[in-house]
Amino acid sequence: MALIPQSTRTSRRQSGAAIVTIRALIVFDTVTLLLFALLHANGPLALGSAALTEPRIIPAAIVEGLAGLIFAVSAYAVFTRASWAWAATVAAHIFALAGVLLGLTMIAAGFGPHSPLNDTYHPLMVALLVVGLILLATPDVKARLGRGARHMRSGEAS
């Protein structure tokens, strides 16, 4: 039985944690972007005795809906270990970040209404999308997602 050096075990554990974090971020981003697209397209969303309400903003609904769909494709690629997972995930992050920054700019310029939920959501999404891009730029994540299924066949567990 060959012993695996501690540094290799630590590196694999860190790489695994980064992949789990990316997967969690992708799922969160997909769900929240699609939820906000729905809110901006249709208005209030009943959640039992409470309701989420956002002003009807069709351009925001379109951008958030597209970003959510791109993230859904990215999630599929990451969870199925497709060879194009890294590229799809980077594209999803860049598209969504551009959309969120556009939304922030439009609201700041007075072209969109403020709401407490939106005013919290935009900065949170900027932070999460930047964190995602930083993780995607690390060599371990790049290698694990960039080579997709070929990398996983080499015997390394996810």
Residue range 46-95, pLDDT digits in tens: 777 887 788 889 999 999 999 999 999 999 999 999 999 999 999 999 99
Full-model pTM: 0.82
- Angle (CA) 122 30 137, round 5°: 80
- Share of the chain residues as helix, strand and coil, in percent rounded to the nearest 5: 75, 5, 20
Q: Name the band, by pLDDT with cuts 50, 70 and 90, for residue 154.
A: very low
pLDDT over 80 (residue 5): no
The predicted pLDDT at position 150 comes to 47
pLDDT over 70 (residue 148): no
Q: Cα 138 from chain centroid?
A: 16
Residue range 15-46, pLDDT digits in tens: 678 899 999 999 999 999 999 999 999 877 77
For residues 143-147, average pLDDT: 80
At 146, is the secondary structure helix, strand, or coil?
helix
d(CA 106, CA 59): 11
